[in-house]
Chain A
């Protein structure tokens, strides 16, 4: 089993959608939220996703196609 730590940033129109629930259901991964800040018009969630590596990759790709930004937990690592 693999684990990935990621940050989801939600655009206003997706704040009310159960994206993380669907990620877990559709891709057979376990999601574990560690920190979050969600308001009416914005939101971010830092979480760990555990499962088969292939499932995690497909799941995170699906989350990104929904319009949620997916980043490593430490922010951008490519520096100038």
Chain B
């Protein structure tokens, strides 16, 4: 066994994410591919964690499981104290709606919808009234600094702005975790720093942030780096996060 359970941090309280012996096996007919081979991981409230690893290491599979887009073959996954590894599709949808905020590499905004409507989307599925929805969505756009772009469609925004709209959408339902999959992968380095600055600020304000990336210089902003290889955690380290030199960030 070359994976180690992560050390528990706040012992008195159950962590936001508690994963035990998580396995995901893809049945490809003749061969069975073990994408996750028994992973143990605890993530505490307000951690800023980077999940690293080469492609095929299992980090994307873990990302899908953490985001409740998929269910594990074996093992348990408790999210905010609730077991979510055995829920059906509709129950998973509801968990995603309430607990998860996704940020994707390709932004994944609805192309014909305005920023405001894109940010409102999770609230629509939560059954919120349109007035309340608009208020919360505008607030989320304000947090990412795009409240003046509420009526713009994605093709009227820059890449960095699109990703900030996507982050606003991820934040709008006050999720337990912000799950970002290569959020700077489609951005130039200047814009990448802007987006990372936003993640740092959100983390400073108490948000739990999980960043999946294969770029080492992006992982430097995290407090903790978990490295995957062949479906297992091979490294789990705390680090002093790098801070952006360009701007003072309030602590």
Q: Do A and B bind each other?
A: no
